[in-house]
Amino acid sequence: MSTPPLVPSPKVGFVSLGCPKALVDSEQILTQLRAEGYETAKSYDGADLVIVNTCGFIDAAVQESLDAIGEALHENGKVIVTGCLGAKKDASGDDIILKVHPKVLAVTGPHALAEVMDAVHLHLPKPHAPFVDLVPAQGIKLTPRHYAYLKISEGCNHRCSFCIIPSMRGDLVSRPIADVMLEAENLFKAGVRELLVISQDTSAYGVDVKFRTGFWNGKPVKTHMTQLVEALGELAAAYGAWVRLHYVYPYPHVDAIIPQMAEGRIVPYLDVPLQHAHPDVLKRMKRPASGEKNIERIQAWRALCPDITIRSTFIAGFPGETEAEFEYLLDFLKEAQIDRLGCFAYSPVEGATANALPDAVPEELREERRGRVMQLQETISKNRLQAKVGRTLRVLIDEVNRTGGVGRSAADAPEIDGVVYVKPPYEPHLKLKVGEFVDVKVTAADAHDLWAQA
């Protein structure tokens, strides 16, 4: 077996200013850097990046810190700032450091080990050593190589009465935006062509950290759904890849991402779990965004982005659901013309508060109502897919077989939506390949899938 070439360790310069508390912060950062395989550099020019831990206590300390940052920028150029001065704002609320030194790569306050390490990973990644690291840079994925799920947060602040996720996973915890973006970039670099953004409530991303500002590509980016989507769209465009959003509750700020879909920066697809339409049922379900006027919202989204695909899930036979409330749901579905729909008969989950609600709907009736929703949806879906016949669509190929290939258009998320059966191109040298995009002409449709010619 041949010995792998030695990859030199990345080197970080460190300037530590301030009091003993700042010194402890510096020690923790240096310890973490060493634990991850970084080396410390003794001079600015021997460093790949410099961290300056600042003090902001008195004017002289502020000046000393600003001078140290200036020197590091001048001598090295790649500078991350942490410490007390990082948390200080001037009278107009602007960040003092960024005002004087706009070229620093990232700024954090004191005791911010995780954020400092995020910034280091972003600007000076550890080289991946295949004989030492057990995990590839993009992590271990259970999905095919060309698509991957990107989890942006864990837990949920809502308390829907049929759900026990918050009691199992706790309240919303958003991942730092730099972490999320770095993972996305590693996935694209590893060949992922479609990124599926998931969480319990994608629209709430960043609420728990008060939409804290992080850094990506040297620019400040807020931990907020709209800014995340914008940054992911930009990154995906650089790799010619798709970004698809799941579990988006229809809060007003969601409207801001529809133009990005219309401009093709992210896939025009919204997975909005509505669960019901009748306001009283939604109230009993304790659903988030239940006061939103969903029909008007959907119509406005379609006016802005006519190609948008809307996916949703519904529950039939929720406790107390009357025939009139159920028919209200059917009327809503007729009007909303949702493209992709799943419907479940209500089923009590142990520990859910909905179990204590009066007037449970008998199981047979729950199933019957589910069947009526699915029957209606069959017709809606058939008509909507039929309207695509004759159009040219871009398809990502998931599978190649003897008769051609199976792929998905922007309207089809993996596993849950339909597929496009693709006949191979007429020219024998043009072959379908798994994980590649191909433009196809739709030739036929049924209620779930499309058939097309490459």
Residues in the chain: 454
Q: Which is nearer to ligand SF4, 121 or 286 (CB)?
A: 286
Q: Which is nearer to ligand SF4, 218 or 252 (CB)?
A: 252
Which segment (158-166, 190-198, 290-298, 357-365) binds ligand SF4 by CB under 6 A?
A: 158-166
* Cα 28 to the center of its chain, rounded Å: 30
Answer yes or no whether residue 156 interacts with ligand SF4 by CB under 6 A: yes
Tell me which residues in 269-298 interact with ligand SF4 (CB under 6 A): 288
Answer yes or no whether residue 201 interacts with ligand SF4 by CB under 6 A: yes
Answer yes or no whether residue 417 interacts with ligand SF4 by CB under 6 A: no
Which segment (152-160, 229-237, 329-337, 343-351) binds ligand SF4 by CB under 6 A?
A: 152-160
Q: Which is nearer to ligand SF4, 180 or 354 (CB)?
A: 354
Q: How many residues bind ligand SF4 (CB under 6 A)?
A: 10
Answer yes or no whether residue 241 interacts with ligand SF4 by CB under 6 A: no
Answer yes or no whether residue 198 interacts with ligand SF4 by CB under 6 A: no
Q: Which is nearer to ligand SF4, 18 or 288 (CB)?
A: 288
To ligand SF4, the closest distance from the beta carbon of 102 in angstroms equals 39
Q: Which is nearer to ligand SF4, 33 or 225 (CB)?
A: 225
Answer yes or no whether residue 51 interacts with ligand SF4 by CB under 6 A: no
Which segment (118-126, 155-163, 179-187, 258-266) binds ligand SF4 by CB under 6 A?
A: 155-163
The binder of ligand SF4 chosen from 19, 113, 165, 400 (CB under 6 A): 165
- How far lies 238's CA from each of 69, 144, 189, 234, in Å? 32, 21, 11, 7
* Closest of 78, 80, 7, 16 to residue 47, by C-alpha: 78
The binder of ligand SF4 chosen from 145, 158, 384, 394 (CB under 6 A): 158
Which segment (1-9, 154-162, 258-266, 446-454) binds ligand SF4 by CB under 6 A?
A: 154-162
To ligand SF4, the closest distance from the beta carbon of 309 in angstroms equals 21
Answer yes or no whether residue 200 interacts with ligand SF4 by CB under 6 A: yes
Q: Which is nearer to ligand SF4, 172 or 180 (CB)?
A: 172
The binder of ligand SF4 chosen from 163, 178, 395, 396 (CB under 6 A): 163
Q: Which is nearer to ligand SF4, 158 or 382 (CB)?
A: 158
List residues binding ligand SF4 (CB under 6 A). Answer: 156, 158-160, 163, 165-166, 200-201, 288
